[in-house]
Amino acid sequence: MISKSNPATRSLRPYSGLRVAHWAGAVASGLTLTAAFPPPGLSWFAWVGLVPLFKTLEGQAPRDGMKLGIAFGLAHFGTLLYWIVYVVRHYAGLNIWLSFFPFLLLTLYLSLYGGVFGALCALQQNRAFASVGIPASWVALEFLRAKLLTGFPWCLLGYSQYKWETLIQAAQIAGVYGISFLVVSANWAVFNLMMASGKTTKKATLASVLFSVLMMALTLFYGHTELKTRAKRPVASSLNVLLVQPNIDQSKKWAPGYQLTTIKILEHLTKKGVEGQDTDLIVWPETATPFFFQEKGKLSNRVRNLSKELETPILFGSPAYEYTPHGRIYLNRAYLLGPDPNVVQWYDKMHLVPFGEYVPMKKVLFFLEKLVHGAGDFQPGKEVKPLKTKGAKLGVLICFETIFPGIAREHITRGAQCLVNITNDAWFGKSSAPLQHLAMSVFRAVEYRVPLIRAANTGISAVVTPSGEILRKSGLFTRETIRAKLDLYPTSLTPYALFGDLFSVASLLISSLWFLWNLMRK
């Protein structure tokens, strides 16, 4: 029998049904978190965006907490990923209703993580050490989202802080997940301090506030010290790079009659960009050559001759194929072409984009096959390997791969001194996706303390320093080039490079044990 006088048990009983105010609070949190990402990029919204959700979850049973969490997820991911409808409709040629199907499917799937978080919060509120358990639960769910079903870690909460240079240095230890932990911890402290009901004890409020303040103070101290120390690091070598953004219309790019025009545009921009300048590396975007470069012909020869003429290596993307016992397979490849046309290195994309480069569950989603360009589905590469040029090792990340820190980590542990992201964000149109994609790329530079350069077909191309500062960037849907001198430093692996997602795994373990402990107590 449950005692009515016991505040610990009384707080677990649900209110008499969910009211409009509860749903409104969950939706408000979802919309507020979306606004923290670019555009509009109101990053400070992230520090209070979860407070309305926490208020609506107060006193709820886990089942109702899950419902409110799903509502939060639908509002957040529905407004964050709206651009998927444009991509599917524009490039698959589907009607508006069919175009919504993949978007709704993904949004519903992602909202389940919000639902689980809501249930965990409802179970943990007013429990001891909730100030640790709730942020750990959020990180655990983000980590699972990045791993399950090929992974989709798009716009994890910590990415919203990509402009706060001092704060994000902690990503060298815990990755973007460490920043997410801080943001959720701050939200929980603000909720307990300003909006929690009288059922929350002063001890619990004080614990959440002190814990959040302590974590923030340590993080900012580390960031300040790291930036100050880094300014004194000796430079091992430098690399003069030219990034070329050709702004090729995606609807024309694959037309056979437009291939020569594409190469002429790249040639013109490249020659103009290197004129009178020392250049060690030229970078073109993903699938810059809309033909099989591996096949000998006039177009391939023009690219080879350009590198030979300029006496400069060119890194560029191109579709490729190989023959296996099961037939011909297609690959999304990055080539590094040296001035010697006989010396060619390449890297094949490891993590493919669902619906863009292959169709998952093709028998069910047969009507989406038109999204895949090429004669068949692309296949993932077999090995992560840096490409070498003039004493520098380059870790190439093709498009979507830049949101997966594990792939960048493999390049770094194999000796890469600089990360190069080649991408074709023309798929996204004039939406928020290119801005979000760039924001996530910043963290790869910080996590491994190396510069990152980014060449995009239609933008946003950019140069990012090891501290996460966006030194230069292009416009969106503009035809331009970017020049930069990259300082390369002696190899020094960060804790995140050495230990990977140890913090995230620990959060998963803590949240799992916390869930079981709270469940047993209830």
Active site residues: 286, 349, 399
Considering Cα of 310, then 316, then 319, then 323, what sign does the dihedral take? positive
Round to whole Å and give the CA distance between 434 and 430: 8
Nearest to 115, CA basis, from 162, 152, 60, 153: 60
Torsion (CA) 391, 395, 160, 109 in degrees, nearest 10:
180
HEC profile of 374-429: CCCCECCCCCCCCEEECCEEEEEEEHHHHHCHHHHHHHHHCCCCEEEEEECHHHHC
The tokens 């990152």 sit on which residue?
452
The full DSSP string for 441-465 is HHHHHHHHT--EEEEESSS--EEE-
Torsion (CA) 444, 419, 234, 178 in degrees, nearest 10:
10
CA angle (174, 177, 181) in 5-degree steps: 100
Buried b or exposed e, range 212-245, using 16+ CB within 10 angstroms? beebbeebbebbeebeeeeeeeeeeeebbbbbbb
Residue 519's CB: how many other CB atoms inside 10 A? 10
Round to whole Å and give the CA distance between 224 and 241: 29
Round to whole Å and give the CA distance between 293 and 290: 8
Round to whole Å and give the CA distance between 329 and 380: 10
Nearest to 38, CA basis, from 408, 428, 361, 485: 428
Cis peptide before 460 (omega within 30 of 0): yes
